[in-house]
Amino acid sequence: MQNRIKGKVVAITGASSGIGEATALMLAGHGAKVVLGARRSDRLEELADHIVKAGGEALYLVTDVKQRDDLIKLVKLACDKYGRLDVLINNAGISHLSRMDELQVEDWEEMIDVNLKGTLYGIAAALPVFQEQGSGHIINIISTSGLRIVPLQGVYAGTKNAVRTITEALRQEAGANLRVTGISPGFVQTELADHMKDPAIKAAIKEKAEKIAISPDDIAGAVIYAISQPPNVDVGDIVIRPTAQD
């Protein structure tokens, strides 16, 4: 396949671990210039150094996707340093699992702020640049949680399905110059479960992940596929689960 990734400028939120980190490494390995955003500066610095030492190009900026300005600054960094932005990957996300009647309202709000509003802030930061350039690509990392709804995941799945809906509306509005892709991973071996609060739920998720989870590289490969298509080919939805996932 022709390398259509080389030279592309790709900004990634949530690049400090898991799917975002793996995607950054794989994109940089294919010659993309990556612009890394997340809150943990030490992890971003280490990743950017690693990419640069391997001969790639990478910049990073401490980015909290709850802050609209941080997304604007991330996109601006790409444009100031590399002259353009070709792809924005809205990947930052958190997952708090609980029954609805536990009323973990603060957790609900955090998931809405990070998973949903954070993605919207990313879209709002990138769209004006894409419109001015006459090209661009938004990739939203969604989840199979929104495809097979199960107990404990109602609000998490709700935020992801809101993103799915917005992704499709954006695709229809976008016209011929803007590509829009939604990628829904199933169980992936990352740090996502480490941040879960309920010890029993965390242990159960981690145990299941140990048994069946796929690698973040498997999701990064889908990102590579979507970006690698010719400009007139828009990869819409990709669902990637472990074969063993129910």
Q: Is 156 a catalytic residue?
A: yes
Q: Minimum Å distance from CB 162 to ligand NAP?
A: 13
Query: 100, 191, 211, 231: which one contacts ligand NAP (CB under 6 A)?
Result: 191
Query: 17, 133, 161, 229: which one contacts ligand NAP (CB under 6 A)?
Result: 17
Q: Which residue has the tokens 């991973």?
A: 185
Q: Is residue 60 within the footprint of ligand NAP (CB under 6 A)? A: no
Q: Is residue 143 within the footprint of ligand NAP (CB under 6 A)? A: yes
Of the listed 60, 121, 156, 225, which one is catalytic? 156
SS3 track for 152-178: CCHHHHHHHHHHHHHHHHHHHHHHHHE
Q: Is residue 40 within the footprint of ligand NAP (CB under 6 A)? A: yes
Token code pair at residue 9: 């400028």
Q: Checking DSSP bridges between strand 33-38 and strand 9-13, what pairing results, if any? A: parallel
Nearer to ligand NAP, 141 or 178 (CB): 141
DSSP state of 65: T
Q: Distance between terminal CA atoms of the chain?
A: 33
Distance of CA 220 to the CA centre of its chain: 10
Element (H, E) at 143: none
Over the window 76 to 95, marking each residue x when it contacts ligand NAP by CB under 6 A and - when it does not, the resulting string is ---------------xxxxx
Chain positions contacting ligand NAP, by CB under 6 A: 13-20, 38-40, 43, 63-66, 91-95, 114, 141, 143, 185, 187-188, 190-192
Give the residue numbers marked as catalytic. 156
